[in-house]
Amino acid sequence: MKCKRCLAQVPDDMNACPNCGQDLSSLRQLLKNFYEQEPVPSEDQGHKPSGPKGTKKKESPREGKGPRVVIDSGPLRDDPGFLLSDTPSAEVPPGEEMQTETWEWPSRGGFWIRSVAFAIDHLILLFTLAIFLVVGFLAVELGAKGGREIFFLQKARLVLPILLPLGVVLVLGYFSFFHAAWGQTIGKMIFGLRVVQIDGQPVSFSRALTRTLGYALSAIPFFLGFFWVGFTASKRSWHDAIAGTMVVREE
């Protein structure tokens, strides 16, 4: 008989394959039942069997006198004695190729829906900066000597140099954190958009930070890097190309 795992020829009286250790007890029992149901005809019809009454001598396929039986995996699976342990292992037999799964790209996020989501994110950032601005003006008015008598422009000159770097840090932290943690900002959550890598994997923090820094390159030439989404079939902006990401719709 033949081993189902390594396809090696194994003697019929063995319960396990000496090559790979595969359990062949169920296959051996199946072959035994097969030869009992269809015995090999004897050359001398008049000769009586030397064994007990009602039994006939069986010849194994290894002797070359009987017909060679090829057992397919289909009947084995229908047999009640076929165990899960007899199933072929995960190893790929010779001559067969591994089938790799490919990630099917879902529908992409278009220009307009991404623009609205991006605008919502910036409204959230502007509202946060407005809070810091009010707190800064109150701090100058209450903390500085004669702060109430300082004109508005003078207060702005004191607050804005601190507020601008804070705004840059806030933008970098907002987009990098949300894209790395959940793959989507608050605006993208509303419209069911998600930022992923081109192979469908989640975005790491370093990749999300690179994508956020790419906003500057997309905005320098009259925001052409952002408008690029509407002109290409891939729906990828310049910062998407820099970071190796894309924006997809959640199904």
Please identify, among 100, 128, 159, the residue that sits at the C-terminal boundary of a domain.
100
Q: Which domain holds residue 4?
A: 1-100
Angle between helices 152-181 and 205-219 (to 10 degrees): 130
pLDDT average, residue stretch 157-168: 88
pLDDT average, residue stretch 48-53: 48
How many folded domains does the chain comprise?
A: 2
Give residue-wise pLDDT tens across range 163-209.
889 999 999 999 999 999 999 999 999 999 999 999 999 999 999 99
Regarding whether 195 and 135 lie in a shared domain, the answer is: yes
What pLDDT shows up at residue 98? 42
- pLDDT of 101 higher than 50: no
> Has residue 7 been placed in a domain?
yes
Regarding whether 90 and 192 lie in a shared domain, the answer is: no
Please identify, among 68, 100, 132, the residue that sits at the C-terminal boundary of a domain.
100
Per 3-state DSSP, the chain is made up of helix, strand and coil in percentages (nearest 5) of 50, 5, 45
Regarding whether 181 and 80 lie in a shared domain, the answer is: no
Regarding whether 55 and 8 lie in a shared domain, the answer is: yes
- pLDDT of 28 higher than 80: no
Give residue-wise pLDDT tens across range 84-94.
434 444 444 44
Regarding whether 199 and 92 lie in a shared domain, the answer is: no
Regarding whether 147 and 72 lie in a shared domain, the answer is: no
Regarding whether 131 and 54 lie in a shared domain, the answer is: no
Report pTM: 0.56
What pLDDT shows up at residue 250? 87
How far out from the chain centre does Cα 188 lie? 21
- pLDDT of 111 higher than 80: yes
Please identify, among 47, 77, 100, the residue that sits at the C-terminal boundary of a domain.
100
